[in-house]
Amino acid sequence: MTEQLKSKPPAGDKPLARIPGAEPSARIDAWWWLVAIVVGLIILLVVIDNETYWNLIVFVWDGIQITFGVTVVAFVLTLLAGLLGGLGRLSKNRFIYGAATLYVELIRGIPLLVQLIWWYFAFPVIIQGLGRSLGVDALSNYQAPAIAMAVLGLVFCYGAYMSEIYRAGIQSIPKGQMEAARSLGMNYFQAMRYVILPQAVRVILPPVGNEFIALLKDSSLVSVVAVTDLTRRGREFMSTHFNPIETWTMVALLYLVMTLLSARIVGWLERRNKFER
């Protein structure tokens, strides 16, 4: 009887395996197996037809780098544009609020593909016309860099959606937080920087992560404005070797690997910065 009492844990204690979040399965994202399957499928295709699939991967490798680079740069700038737009949507100044709201409403109503085409083909014509009017040769001979225009188009489009995410995140923080910060002597910007935004960022992390994944997929549209991304390189490979099935199957798998990896990283960040109420 004494040995049984000694071996029995106290009533208030729980075995480590029964504590929520302590199980190994709760600490490791179970969906990594899907990433492994897709990577394994790519390897299998390369083994089955090394000449076609391996040459294709080598051919589009620079396109993968451009796709990832454009996505990361555009996403960082989108976070800044979204923050400014979100704060503008919450501003008590009618002009700032009106400008931010007009930007969000207009940009969200135009397809991303149309915006990219406008920035690459129409915007340079406006600059050239302005240069001829002012007599500035540098402007009248302006040629739009494809990658810069693609990033600009992505930022303008996704900045509108990110503005609404920031606005919703900031509004989800109780008003008492701002009142407490102001009572401590902070001005509006200090309260936003040190009290409200750190909490809001943790709240909006899941939708922001989803926006990154969506931006990664939509970056394929920049291929229409002369950016040699993964999609454009795939189209060039297909037009040379006339093998659409092999080309677009591999391109789809490569995009899938990038999006699945991004989703796993986003999931890890969500668990690490989980917002507890």
Torsion of the alpha carbons at 268, 271, 273 and 277, rounded to the nearest 10: 160
Which residues of the chain carry a pLDDT beneath 70? 1-29, 274-277
CA dist 4 → 7, 8, 95, 198 (Å): 5, 6, 75, 50
pLDDT at 267: 84
Domain locations in the chain as residue ranges: 35-270
Mutual angle of helices 55-89 and 230-241, in 10-degree steps: 150
Residue 226 gets the label, from left (phi > 0), alpha (psi -120 to 50) or beta, of left
Question: Which of the 8 DSSP states describes residue 193?
Answer: I
Question: Which of the 8 DSSP states describes residue 109?
Answer: T
- Single pTM value for the model: 0.84
Chain-centroid distance of CA 193 in Å reads 22
Burial 187-207 (b: 16+ CB within 10 A, else e): eeeebbeebbbebbbbbbbbb
Among residues 91, 85, 79, the alpha carbon closest in space to that of 189 is found at 91
The CATH topology of domain 35-270 is MetI-like fold (1.10.3720)
pLDDT at 275: 53
Rounded CA-CA distance 171/10 in Å is: 44
Among residues 181, 195, 228, 209, the alpha carbon closest in space to that of 70 is found at 228
Q: Which two tokens stand for residue 130?
A: 């302005």
Cβ atoms of residues 123 and 144 within 8 Å: yes
CA dist 222 → 115, 233, 243 (Å): 10, 12, 23
Rounded CA-CA distance 244/224 in Å is: 18
Q: Which two tokens stand for residue 201?
A: 């960022």
202-257 pLDDT tens trace: 889 989 999 999 999 999 999 999 899 999 999 999 999 899 999 999 999 999 99
pLDDT at 8: 53
Question: Which of the 8 DSSP states describes residue 111?
Answer: -
pLDDT at 38: 94
Rounded CA-CA distance 178/253 in Å is: 47
Cβ atoms of residues 260 and 35 within 8 Å: yes
